[in-house]
């Protein structure tokens, strides 16, 4: 256990240390080092300023697991998270941290069958990890009683604020036991979050860890417009034009990760694939090979790429866009680290363009559009590389044993002819443009505005100013951006810039609560210039 000494010194039990060993954790991350001792004392609330990827789940999860009882009759812990993916991820992480303890952890999120959730909530549940909307549904149905919770966690509070969940969070906080310990984690601390902290949290300790260099200026962010069918060829072109490509390629599903990994190997690249179905042993082997640069391409899912700590990647490629803006930041934060420059490349299909705008807006990322490298440029780049390699052989004096043969050849032919023949012999496949398929030129950029239909009208006591206020409160859209408002008896219309429309649609999708969303794209005049 010596390896886990630092975890032990934080006050964790042997049972937990065993689980950590199995998980392969060796030493605590900074947020864990700071939070765990405070939380184990159990005397005050905690606010943690930390981003995804810093190990914050274990920072709050381990003390909770240490402190709650097995076989309790009521729900002891509620963890609120902004997205379904995060809820599932937290629940998986806690399950792997609990070790042999008999704790029942259930993720509860919108989109999953409510009947299924009702059934699992009827049984004994110790820890609920839920998204705010669905948790409220269960509180209203009385299928979730939070009066006995000893711990409440608000994870990624700023993201919940961005997504318009703050009111729901307050309702939920009011429905919980007053005596509980509350923990709030957030990457940023906007004033609305601090207001919640003031209002609902008792004396709290504040821990912050230095911001990881994320969207740092060292990462150049580019996107390419490409159709789904051309993505693989575009990927090959990007790898080929670079001299020393060393990169992570993100796909959303395990199936894609396997497929892309396999196709790359078939085309002769040194690539490997990493996802959740790969055993811990294989994972380590694959990571070792990648770290030692025996493979220079690793295709991975978001979850599988977590915890990979490599500082000198030249590229991160989003083969498919992440589900969540947070993941974008996390993915691209893997390049441009430790003072090295890096490039983050995102493929965007016409269907994904809106999502890119949403990600751009939420993350405030500066992502510029570029054209996929053309075949001539790739071949030119390869020629340059070959020239450099040849010069290095000459410099390193590694060609001595071939001098005699060279002289024999020169006796018969002029130097240009011989060298040209040699180049053809050695590089004809590599320098042929034939291996590249044509890539369709598409443009998915659609600037302008969108007309939205809002299912609220005069009969709902909606006025122009009420509607504007609602949009400002829920989706953070300033009044000045909303144009051409028309209020009818049962519905209304608004026109907003394209990017803001995405935010509004996203936020109000969650408002529909199983019924139809309140805001949808207007059927006619979809996009007005
Ligand atoms: P989180 O920020 O909680 O989403 O964690 C990010 C990733 O880091 C997860 O895959 C964790 O399993 C992993 N992780 C958390 N703490 C540690 C640690 N002390 N050592 C190694 N990996 C960790």
Residue 403 covered by a domain: yes
Between the alpha carbon of residue 126 and those of residues 94, 123, 146, 151, 377, the distances in Å are 12, 10, 11, 11, 59
User: Is 527 contained in some domain?
Assistant: no
Q: What residues line ligand 1, using a CB cutoff of 6 Å? A: 25, 28-29, 32, 52-58, 93, 306-307
Whether residue 385 sits in one domain with residue 308:
no
CA 363 to chain centre: 11
Statement to judge: residues 42 and 179 lie in one domain: yes
* SS3 letters across 234-292: HHHHHHHHCCCCCEEEECCCHHHHHHHHHHHHHCCCCEEEECCCCCHHHHHHHHHHHHC
Is pLDDT above 90 for 47? yes
Residue 352 falls within a domain, yes or no? yes
The pLDDT of residue 332 is 82
* Domain CATH number, residue 494: 3.30.70.330
State the pLDDT confidence band at 214, using cuts at 50, 70 and 90.
Answer: very low
Cα(60) to centroid of ligand 1, in Å? 12
Q: What is the pLDDT of residues 273-309, one digit of tens each?
A: 998 888 878 888 998 899 899 999 999 998 888 767 7
- Asked whether the beta carbons of 305 and 274 are under 8 A apart, the reply is yes
Q: Does residue 129 contact residue 107 with C-beta atoms inside 8 Å? A: yes
Instruction: For ligand 1, atom 20, name the residue with the nearest CA.
Output: 25
**Which residues, at least 6 apart from 306, have a Cβ–Cβ distance to it below 8 Å?**
53
One domain for residues 76 and 196: yes
The Å distance, Cα 26 to ligand 1 centre, comes to: 11
- 398 in the same domain as 300: no
Structural domains of the chain, count? 4
Rounded Cα gap, residues 146 and 75, in angstroms: 7
Looking from the CA of residue 57, the nearest atom of ligand 1 is 3
Residues 421 and 471 in one domain: no
115 & 186 share domain: yes
Assigned domain for 213 exists: no
Strand 297-300 relative to strand 271-274, pairing: parallel
Look at residue 214 and tell me if it is in a domain.
no
Element spanning 419, H or E: helix 415-427
- Give the closest residue (by CA) to ligand 1 atom 14: 55
Quickly count: other Cβ atoms within 10 Å of residue 89's Cβ: 20
3-state secondary structure of 79: strand
pLDDT in tens, 219-274: 788 999 988 889 999 999 999 998 889 999 999 899 999 999 999 999 999 999 99
Q: At what angle do helices 498-511 and 353-363 cross, to 10 degrees?
A: 90
Does 213 have pLDDT greater than 50? no
- Which structural domain range is residue 462 located in? 449-521
Q: Model pTM?
A: 0.50
Q: Summarize pLDDT for 363-407 with one digit per residue, the tens.
A: 777 888 888 898 999 999 989 989 998 998 888 888 888 899 999
Residue 526 lies in a domain: no
Distance 58 CA to ligand 1 centre (A): 7
DSSP β-bridge partners for residue 477: none
Alpha-carbon gap, residue 207 to 30, rounded angstroms: 10
Nearest to 366 by CA among 188, 248, 224, 217: 217
């Amino acid at each position: 256990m010596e390896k886990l000494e630092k975890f032990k010194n934080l006050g964790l039990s042997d049972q937990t240390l065993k689980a950590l060993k199995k998980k392969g954790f060796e030493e605590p991350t900074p947020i864990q080092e700071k939070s765990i001792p405070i939380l184990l004392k159990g005397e005050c609330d905690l606010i943690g300023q930390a981003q995804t990827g810093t190990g914050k789940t274990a920072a709050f999860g381990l003390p909770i697991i240490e402190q709650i009882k097995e076989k309790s009759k009521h729900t002891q812990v509620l963890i609120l998270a902004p997205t379904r993916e995060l809820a599932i991820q937290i629940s998986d992480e806690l399950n792997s941290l609990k070790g042999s303890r008999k704790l029942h952890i259930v993720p509860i999120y919108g989109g999953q069958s409510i009947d299924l959730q009702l059934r699992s909530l009827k049984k004994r549940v110790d820890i609920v990890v839920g998204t705010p909307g669905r948790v409220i549904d269960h509180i209203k149905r009385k299928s979730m009683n939070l009066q006995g919770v000893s711990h409440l966690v608000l994870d990624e509070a700023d993201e919940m604020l961005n997504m318009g969940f703050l009111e729901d969070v307050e309702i939920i906080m009011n429905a919980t036991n007053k005596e509980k310990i509350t923990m709030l984690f957030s990457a940023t601390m906007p004033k609305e979050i601090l207001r919640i902290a003031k209002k609902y949290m008792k004396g709290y300790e504040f821990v912050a860890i230095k911001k990881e260099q994320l969207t740092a200026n060292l990462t150049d962010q580019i996107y390419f417009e490409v159709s789904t069918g051309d993505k693989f060829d575009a990927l090959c072109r990007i790898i080929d034009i670079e001299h020393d490509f060393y990169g992570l390629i993100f796909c959303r599903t395990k199936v894609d990760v396997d497929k892309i990994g396999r196709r790359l190997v078939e085309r002769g690249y040194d690539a490997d694939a990493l996802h959740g179905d790969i055993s811990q042993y294989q994972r380590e082997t694959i990571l070792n090979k990648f770290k030692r640069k025996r493979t220079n391409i690793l295709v991975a899912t978001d979850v599988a790429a977590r915890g990979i700590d490599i500082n000198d990647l030249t590229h991160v490629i989003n083969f498919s866009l992440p589900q969540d803006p947070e993941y974008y930041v996390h993915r691209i934060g893997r390049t441009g680290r430790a003072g090295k420059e890096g490039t983050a490349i995102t493929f965007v299909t016409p269907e994904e363009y809106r999502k890119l705008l949403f990600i751009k807006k939420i993350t405030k990322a500066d992502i510029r559009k570029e054209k996929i490298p053309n075949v001539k440029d790739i071949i030119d780049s390869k020629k340059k590389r070959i020239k450099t390699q040849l010069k290095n052989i000459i410099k390193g004096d590694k060609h001595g044993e071939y001098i005699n043969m060279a002289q024999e050849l020169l006796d018969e032919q002029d130097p240009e002819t011989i060298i040209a023949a040699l180049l053809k012999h050695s590089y004809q496949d590599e320098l042929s443009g034939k291996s590249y398929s044509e890539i369709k030129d598409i443009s998915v950029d659609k600037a302008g505005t969108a007309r939205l239909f809002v299912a609220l009208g005069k009969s709902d006591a909606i006025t122009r100013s009420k509607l504007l206020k609602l949009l400002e409160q829920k989706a953070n859209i300033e009044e000045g951006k909303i144009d051409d408002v028309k209020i009818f008896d049962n519905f209304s219309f608004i026109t907003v810039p394209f990017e803001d429309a995405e935010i509004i649609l996203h936020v109000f999708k969650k408002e529909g609560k199983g019924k139809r969303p309140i805001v949808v794209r207007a059927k006619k005049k979809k996009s007005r210039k």
